[in-house]
């Protein structure tokens, strides 16, 4: 029997985005055992080349890509794309790890933080594993041991989120407005509803009927699911 470690055909969906680029950097940094790396985005970026560990990999158009043979698919191209394409990749045999909020609250999709509930990833009836919102994700390793030991009833959380949470176009708007304002020029907000350079907007995502925003409620819903306790 060969001692060679198993390697995987990995696909990154949304490979040109802020999250996709970070995923690629981490796959390289961790020396993840990859036999083949497939990079996917929209037709806008198809044909572009991306460097990965010295190799040039051509971005392919997700819409026309056949997922047969992909073993692990990392999805980070927005909820609508996950909803349409993640089931197709799973049906073709891939384990899908989805970064959007599309499947997070479905009972038959595990919501996993690897340091907290890794065992949940084994039970994935739809072939999809969701990961939580970035704020929930980093809180869980800290809160889970406290909850296990003492039980948590209530958590007061304040987050200060960077514009990178709004993706590549968010970061570009911050850079552009900063340069314009320092050059005494007019700015024209596009991605954010108002000036973002030298500013802080106390609002992310839409308001819900209970007066909280969806971004705030994600913390509540996801914490309960990951810690397995609806009373928090
Ligand atoms: N940024 C964060 O901190 C964060 C945190 C948690 C979760 N997420 C999730 O990750 C997603 C991506 O975030 P991001 O910050 O990386 O956004 P982004 O910088 O705007 O990148 C979006 C990516 O999706 C691709 N894409 C867009 N439309 C597509 C289509 N029709 N078909 C195939 N690919 C398409 C884009 O490809 P093109 O180059 O072709 O446009 C790009 O690679 C978010 O929508 C969210 O679901 C983000």
* CA torsion through residues 110, 75, 215, 131, sign: positive
Average pLDDT over residues 140-150: 97
Q: pLDDT digit string (tens) for 156-207? A: 999 999 999 888 899 999 999 999 999 999 999 999 999 999 999 999 999 9
Q: What is the domain class of 8-100 according to CATH? A: alpha beta
- 111: which DSSP letter? B
Residue 41 near ligand 1, beta carbon < 6 Å: yes
Q: If pLDDT is split at 50, 70 and 90, which confidence band does 133 have? A: very high
Which residue puts its alpha carbon closest to atom 40 of ligand 1? 42
Which CB contacts under 8 angstroms, 24+ apart, belong to 165-170? 165/134, 165/204, 166/191, 166/192, 167/17, 167/18, 167/19, 168/16, 168/17, 168/18, 170/196
Q: Which atom of ligand 1 is nearest to the CA of 171?
A: 19
Average pLDDT over residues 24-36: 97
Query: What value does the mean pLDDT of the chain take?
Result: 96
Residue-range domain boundaries for the chain: 8-100
Average pLDDT over residues 65-90: 98
Q: Which atom of ligand 1 is nearest to the CA of 14?
A: 43
- Could you tell me the distance, in angstroms and rounded to a whole number, from the CA of residue 229 to the centre of ligand 1? 31
Whole-number percent of the chain with pLDDT over 70: 99
Whole-number percent of the chain with pLDDT over 90: 96
Residue 62 near ligand 1, beta carbon < 6 Å: yes
Residue 19 near ligand 1, beta carbon < 6 Å: yes
The confidence score (pLDDT) of residue 5 equals 86
The confidence score (pLDDT) of residue 184 equals 98
Which residue puts its alpha carbon closest to atom 28 of ligand 1? 42
Alpha-carbon dihedral of residues 135, 141, 144, 146, nearest 10 degrees?
Answer: -110
Residue 161 near ligand 1, beta carbon < 6 Å: no
1, pLDDT greater than 60: no
Residue 170 near ligand 1, beta carbon < 6 Å: no
Helix (H, G, I), strand (E, B) or coil at 48: coil
Q: pLDDT digit string (tens) for 42-56? A: 999 999 999 999 999
The confidence score (pLDDT) of residue 165 equals 87
Counting ligand 1 atoms within 8 A of each CB, the residue from 11, 14, 38 with the most, and so the one to mutate, is 14
The confidence score (pLDDT) of residue 3 equals 56
* CA torsion through residues 74, 78, 82, 85, sign: negative
Average pLDDT over residues 70-85: 98
Which residue puts its alpha carbon closest to atom 2 of ligand 1? 165
The confidence score (pLDDT) of residue 176 equals 98
- 206: which DSSP letter? P
């Amino acid at each position: 029997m060969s001692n060679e470690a198993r390697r995987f055909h990995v696909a990154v969906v949304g490979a040109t985005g802020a999250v996709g680029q970070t995923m690629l950097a981490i796959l390289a940094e961790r020396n993840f055992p990859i036999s083949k790396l497939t990079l996917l985005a929209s037709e806008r970026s198809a044909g572009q080349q991306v460097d990965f560990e010295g190799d040039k990999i051509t971005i392919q158009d997700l819409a026309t890509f056949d997922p047969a043979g992909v073993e692990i698919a990392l999805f980070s191209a927005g909820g609508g794309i996950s909803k349409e394409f993640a089931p197709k990749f799973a049906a073709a045999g891939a384990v899908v790890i989805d970064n959007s909020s599309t499947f997070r609250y479905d009972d038959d999709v595990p919501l996993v933080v690897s340091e907290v509930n890794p065992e949940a990833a084994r039970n994935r009836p739809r072939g999809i594993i969701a990961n939580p919102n970035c704020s929930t994700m980093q809180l869980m390793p800290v809160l889970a041991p406290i909850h296990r030991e003492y039980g948590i009833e209530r958590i007061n959380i304040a987050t200060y989120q960077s514009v990178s949470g709004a993706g590549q176009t968010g970061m570009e708007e911050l850079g552009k407005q900063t340069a314009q304002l320092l050059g005494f020029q007019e700015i024209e907000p596009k991605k954010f509803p108002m000036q973002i350079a030298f500013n802080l907007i106390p609002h992310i995502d839409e308001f819900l009927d209970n007066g909280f925003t969806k971004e705030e409620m994600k913390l509540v819903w996801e914490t309960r699911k990951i810690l397995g306790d609806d009373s928090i």
